[in-house]
Each structure stands twice: as C-alpha cells, then as structure tokens.
C-alpha cells in the first residue's frame, strides 16, 4: 500500500469516526447557569404578577379616514414591533444566505468524503486481492518445495543406486581386463 493510499484511508477513517466532545467538569459554570436561570424566572414571574407587561385594551389596528383618504392606524407598540421586524429583515436575509453557503460547503464536504470512502474501499479491495495473491503464491511455493521429486530420501537412494552401479561396472571392467 503506497503512502497516498494509506493517507487517504487514515483521512477517511478519521472523518467517519464520530466526534464525541469530552465532558468538562465546570462546577462554577454550572452554578452560574442555574443561578442565572433562577433569576430570569423570578424576574419574569414578578413582572407578570404585577401586570407591568399587560397589553393595552382595544384593537391592534383600526381603519381611519383622513382628508378623504382611508388608511390604517396602528398603535405605537405595534408600529415599534413592525419597525423592529423591518430593521431585522436584512440581517435575517444575510443570515439565511450565510446558512445556505454553509449548506453548500457541507454538501461539498460530504461529496469529498464519499469519494474518499470510495477510493478507500477500492484501495482496500486491491490490498485484499494482493494479499490473496500472496497467500496463493506462498501455497504454490510450499507445494513446489514439498514435491516428491524434491525429497532428500529419493535423491539419497538414487545416489546410492548410481554409486552401486558404478562400483559394479568398475569391478566388471577390471575383471574383464587380462592379467588381473
């Protein structure tokens, strides 16, 4: 496996592993959070109980005619809410555009990770095939090493037979020579 394939495999594995944040022990932060929530609830309860947030009575809008032109009259609090909504609208649009950009980036990241996974799977398949081929080659080498014609006992016996035949032929040749 070359280094590029190994790096891609490590990158794919690290990208696919779930990121689990480590729990942090922050007792001061927890106490501050609980006190803040308690204070907010107390203040909300006390203002509602005393009626400071009570809505004025009457309709929120009314139709009015001024100089022969019919229009809509809004209460001041409703007009302030509408103005706040209108001033926040460009910010909301910008935020939506930014979030859409983030979605596009995430989609690109997902497609990149999918291609890395596909490449990793292809590399894994090649590695498994290479491993299978190596195992088969090893088995073939072991079979060739253990073949009957490579047996030391066979070649020792063949050597002894040839040596015996040579001794017998030499003795016959020497006996056939006159004067011995």
Cβ atoms within 10 A of the Cβ of 119, count? 16
Q: Provide the pLDDT for residue 99.
A: 93
Which helix (H) or strand (E) element contains residue 73? strand 69-74
Q: Provide the pLDDT for residue 52.
A: 47
Taking a C-beta distance cutoff of 8 angstroms, is the pair 71, 64 a contact? yes
Give the span between the Cα atoms of 120 and 131, in whole angstroms. Answer: 16
pLDDT digits (tens, 9 = 90+) for 125-161: 999 999 999 999 998 888 777 777 778 888 899 999 9
Average pLDDT, the chain: 80
Share of the chain above pLDDT 90, in %: 34
Q: Is the pTM of this model over 0.85?
A: no
Q: Name the phi and psi angles at 68, rounded to 5.
A: 80, 5
* HSE-CB for 178 with a 13 A CA cutoff: 0
Task: List the Cα angle 118/123/127 in 5-degree steps.
Answer: 150
pLDDT digits (tens, 9 = 90+) for 33-87: 777 787 777 777 665 555 545 555 556 667 777 788 787 777 778 778 888 888 8
């Amino acid at each position: 496996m070359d280094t590029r394939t190994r790096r891609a495999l490590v990158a794919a594995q690290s990208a696919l592993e779930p990121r689990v944040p480590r729990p942090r022990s922050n007792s001061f932060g927890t106490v501050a959070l609980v006190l803040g929530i308690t204070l907010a609830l107390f203040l909300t309860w006390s203002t509602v109980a005393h009626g400071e947030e009570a809505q004025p009575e009457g309709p929120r809008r009314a139709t009015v005619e001024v100089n022969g032109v019919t229009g809509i009259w809004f209460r001041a609090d409703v007009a302030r809410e509408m103005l706040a909504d209108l001033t926040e609208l460009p910010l909301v649009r910008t935020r939506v555009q930014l979030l859409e950009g983030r979605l596009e980036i995430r989609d690109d990241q997902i497609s990149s990770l999918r291609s890395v996974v596909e490449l990793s799977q292809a590399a894994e398949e090649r590695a498994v095939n290479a491993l299978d081929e190596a195992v088969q080659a090893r088995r073939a080498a072991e079979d060739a090493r253990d073949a009957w014609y490579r047996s030391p006992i066979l070649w020792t016996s063949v050597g002894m037979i040839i040596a015996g035949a040579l001794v017998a032929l030499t003795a016959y040749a020497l006996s056939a020579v006159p004067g011995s």
